[in-house]
Amino acid sequence: MEEYDVPSAASILASVKEQEARFERLTRALEEERRNVSLQLERSSLPSDRLVGGTTGGSNQPLAWQQMVMQEQSPSNQTSLAMMQEPQEVVEETVTIEEDPGTPTSHVSVVTSDDGTTRRTETKDNVTNMKVTKMVKTVTTRTVRQVPLGPDGLPLPEGSSPLGSYTDSIDRRYMKNGERFITPQASSTLTRSYNNYSDSYNDTPDSQFRHYALHDGYGDVPDNYGSLSRGVNYRPYRPYMPTGGYRPENSYTLPIRKDDYGHVAQPQVPMGSSTVDLNRSQPERFQPEPYGLEDDRRSLGPDDEEPYDIEPDYSTANRRTLPGRTIREPLRNGPRVRGYEDPIETELIDERHPYIHGMYPAPLAQPERGSLASLDRMGGRRSPSIDSIRKDPRWRDPDLPEVIAMLGHPIDPVKSNAAAYLQHLCYENDKIKKDVRQLKGIPVLVGLLDHPKAEVHRKACGALRNISYGKDHDNKVAIKSCDGIPALIRLLRKTNDMEVRELITGTLWNLSSYEPLKMVIINHGLQTMTNEVIIPHSGWEQEPNEDSKPRDAEWTTVFKNTSGCLRNVSSDGAEARRRLRECEGLVDALLHALQSAVGKKDMDNKSVENCVCIMRNLSYHVHKEVPGAEKFQDPSALQGPGSAGTQRKKNDDAGCFGGKKAKEEWFNQGRKNGEHNKNYDTLDLPKRTEPTKGFELLYQPEVVRLYLSLLTESQNFNTLEAAAGALQNLSAGQWTWSNYIRATVRKEKGLPILVELLRSDSDKVVRAVAIALRNLSIDRRNKDLIGSYAMRDLVSNLPSGQQRPAKNLEEDTVVAILNTIHEIITDSSENARSLITAQAIDKLVAINRTSQSARETKAASHVLQTVWSYKELRNGLTKDGWNKTHFQPIATGTPKGSKSCKPGYDDTTLPLMEKNQGNRGCSGGDMIPMDELGPDGYSTIDQRDKDSKYKSSDGSSDLQEREPLKNDTNRKHYIRSNRPTVSLVDACDVKPQPVDSWV
């Protein structure tokens, strides 16, 4: 046991031991007490069972008991460690939260007890000064010795209260239901929720209580939110949310609520069996808010395309696995500790299912239904009063204009509820989004971003995030038009709330997928996003503390969203790149994050992918665009005016074949470099007097190792592609740094790594690597090495005529490979010989003659011509049965060209390059940073665009824009991790998970 960061290890160790010993003593004492109590409980439970029949008279008792609790938990001992009277309760901590004064005060204390339960005690002063204490018990982990009864060890007072009877009845229920509820854990969970009910139940008997309950629904919201939102679990509340949402104050919307509520509540006074009680007590629970977001998920369940997002039947899945669950087994056998959420799943299983199927879009309208069904199932029968609620026609949803009007309601919770509801409505519903826009809801929501109350701006932001998602760019424009982008950025600066930050950055990511907004985002948000998110989460420190170890990056959702946003905006042309490069700390932080990813071997996640993509994009054209670049230009390779300009535009058409430079010029460069590079093996890299920072880091030879590590280790095809693309960008061009980079790749043994990746299953990885190899072979040594070692892998990726190899690479990739081969054999008869040895001629001739693709045909034809140009090879070729005609352009090639999308470029004599330039000129599109010499780089990006266009139709989020996700193995993984965050706030809870896992 070593200790870190501790000034004086010995003294601390001593004090730790001391503390631990004390704690141990305390624990022992507590356990002793608990044992006593459990015995008492055992005794007391029996009578309570008998009382289940629940005389109405019993209803006063819970009050008395609760009163007692309240005293113990009164605000005065808020923060101190308090000992509950019930001896078995070890109070580890008491948190008291005061509601804001405008609403009835509510003190909530959370007590974690040793037996693994969390108890929440809420004390309220309602308007009438009535003191009501509410006890909510939550079962958490670690029950070591579960008390046989009183399922959660809740002390049941003598002369049991309804509380007692509830617990008890539940207890019985599981017994009846058999093994499913047999574990103490499950029982405690149930108890928890029923305790809740009992609480609301207490409210019912007279109007004062009812009144309280109405307020309660509201007052509760903030603190319940956290857990409720996780909360499938809390299903039972949900049905009643409509009322709560529009508390007494907003009765204008749903005027009947209050009365209704009374009616409903009243008849529910205990009668008959406990199950009936349960039914009865629920309707009083108005818990509107927490469910706003959950609803989306639940209600959309069946419609959602992503299986695990909602997984309409995931609860059933749970149920299926339940009995045999490994986690559970041990629990049954003995008193073990319990996961803190697990039991709740059990509780839910019955409830959510019917709901999901029963009432898709009407979370507010008919909320009862789901839970009734479940209650029916659970209870076996239901009370008549509930039937009447369900049929009550007066319950209805507010319509959209009403909801939007509520955004401007003077009372904050109404605003936030309305926004939350709006978020729910907009979820994957383009029609509603459009309606919201047309009803002028967006400016109001944007206005709410500046609202001081966290609840309000959070919900508004959630709604904006959903609205901003989708292919309807008008929604994005609408957000921008009312200055939504600066407002989001302002809020990002202001808030420390992780959830809000996730929402803001998610919204920005969505917005950043629309080209015209990219520059706006850069203008308003670049430095803020960098300072607030990228730098802190990357672990980079501007002035690193010498003593401390460098911090690692944290792959938070916020970081992921922000890097995704920057990734999108980084493709907005030269100006965008310039701004990003010059953004203080950005490149440094991204680099640090990537280095930390490499260090931790955590290179497959989305954030890394985003960072590498940004780096790749920023590396594009560095040799032309960075300040002072001209000083480093290689004078021997100054580019003529005819070569591609710095402002080369992206070619949007995936079918286009983008070449950049006149062929000859390109060849010359190769030759010249060849000569130069001979020296580079011995040449030292430039010495630096001060540490490099900012954009200079982009092209320092040190980055080569980083990209190579990513290429070696990452399993994420997008990351692989981007890392190869970065090398491709850096090794392009004629300036000192690209010479260094090319040499460094060789010295760092990067060529074999790249060659290895030619075997990748991913089309675009193969393509990016092929183009990178092409650029790298500008260096003569590289060319020789690549010719010797990569030829076989390059050739094996080629199709044999019409018969595609197993990989079935896309046309772009095949063309890229052919161009790379062409580059490698140019000026090297040795390499041409390797090509022949690799049995390439068969394939090349087949492609030349039979390929359906004009571009493939042409590229193959160039290779063949070059091969034939080596007179020394002809002899051998003739021996193999080839003749000149095989190496000449096929006359019919031109007609074939007409099939392609760019018939005009079918000039066989010359080149790819010029054509493509013309092509590029007319496309006028955005420029996507890619390689300089590798035209095919463009297709990679185009691919991406294509993907993003269709993206929304496949139900993936805007967040994915520019992130193709097409690749098989990765896909699942990524969708998995991204999916939940798609349009919802509390995305993470989509899938109930085992909460407590043995490892």
Where do contacts with other proteins occur on this chain (CB under 8 A)? 1-8, 11-13, 15-16, 19-20, 23, 92-93, 95, 110, 112, 116, 118, 138, 140-142, 226-227, 230-231, 233, 336-337, 339-341, 496, 498, 501, 532-533, 536-537, 551-552, 554-558, 599-602, 980, 988-991, 993-999
Residue 317: count other Cβ atoms within 10 Å of its Cβ: 13
SS3 at position 71: helix
CB atoms within 10 A of CB 129: 8
If the CB atoms of residues 78 and 888 are measured against other proteins, the closer one turns out to be 78
Provide the pairing of β-strand 105-112 with 117-125.
antiparallel
Q: Which is nearer to other proteins, 289 or 368 (by Cβ)?
A: 289
Q: How far is the CB of 233 from other proteins (least distance, A)?
A: 8
How crowded is residue 953: how many other Cβ atoms within 10 Å of its Cβ? 9
Q: Are 283 and 264 in contact (CB under 8 A)?
A: yes
> How many whole angstroms separate alpha carbon 899 and alpha carbon 521?
41
Shortest distance (Å) from residue 128 CB to other proteins: 30
SS (H, E, C) 482-517: CCHHHHHHHHHHHCCCHHHHHHHHHHHHHHCCCHHH
Q: How many CB atoms lie within 10 A of CB 459?
A: 31
Closer residue to other proteins (CB): 336 or 855: 336
Q: What are the structure tokens assigned to 665, written together?
A: 């010029």
Least Å distance, CB 187 to other proteins, is 17
Tokens of 295: 């609803």
**Closer to other proteins by Cβ: residue 3 or 98:** 3
Shortest Cβ distance from residue 224 to other proteins (Å)? 9
3-state secondary structure 926-941: CCCCCCCCCCHHHHHH
Q: Where are the beta strands (DSSP E) in 781-839?
A: none
Q: How far is the CB of 775 from other proteins (least distance, A)?
A: 34
Residue from 922, 276, 360 nearest 651 by CA: 922
Minimum CB distance to other proteins, residue 329 (Å): 13
In angstroms, give the least distance from the CB of 559 to other proteins: 9
The whole-angstrom separation of Cα 738 and Cα 939 is 23
> CB of residue 950 vs other proteins: minimum separation in angstroms?
28
Give which of 386, 134, 148, 128 is closest to 260, Cα–Cα: 386
Amino acid at 363: P
775 contacts 817 by C-beta, under 8 angstroms: no
514: its two tokens: 């629309």
Which residue lies nearer to other proteins by CB, 5 or 684? 5
Of 32 and 93, which has the nearer Cβ to other proteins?
93
Nearer to other proteins, 793 or 989 (CB): 989
Provide the terminal-to-terminal Cα distance of the chain, rounded to the nearest Å.
Answer: 21
Q: How far is CA 139 from the centre of its chain?
A: 29
Burial class (CB in 10 A: 0-12, 13-18, 19+), 880: exposed
CB of 101 to other proteins, least distance (A): 22
Q: What is the DSSP string of 740-755?
A: HHHHHHHHTTHHHHHH
Min dist. Cβ of residue 960 to other proteins (A): 19
> How many angstroms separate the CA atoms of 862 and 156, rounded?
89
Distance in Å, CB of 992 to other proteins, minimum: 9
Q: Closest CB to other proteins among 531 and 869?
A: 531
What amino acid is encoded at 656 in this protein?
C
Nearer to other proteins, 502 or 653 (CB): 502
730: closest CA among 785, 782, 781, 775? 775
Q: Which is nearer to other proteins, 260 or 986 (CB)?
A: 986
* Residue number with CB closer to other proteins (302 or 330): 330
Question: Tokens in use for 696?
Answer: 């200079």
Cβ distance to other proteins smaller for residue 222 or 288: 222
H or E element that contains 33: helix 9-50
Q: Least distance to other proteins from the beta carbon of 28, Å?
A: 14
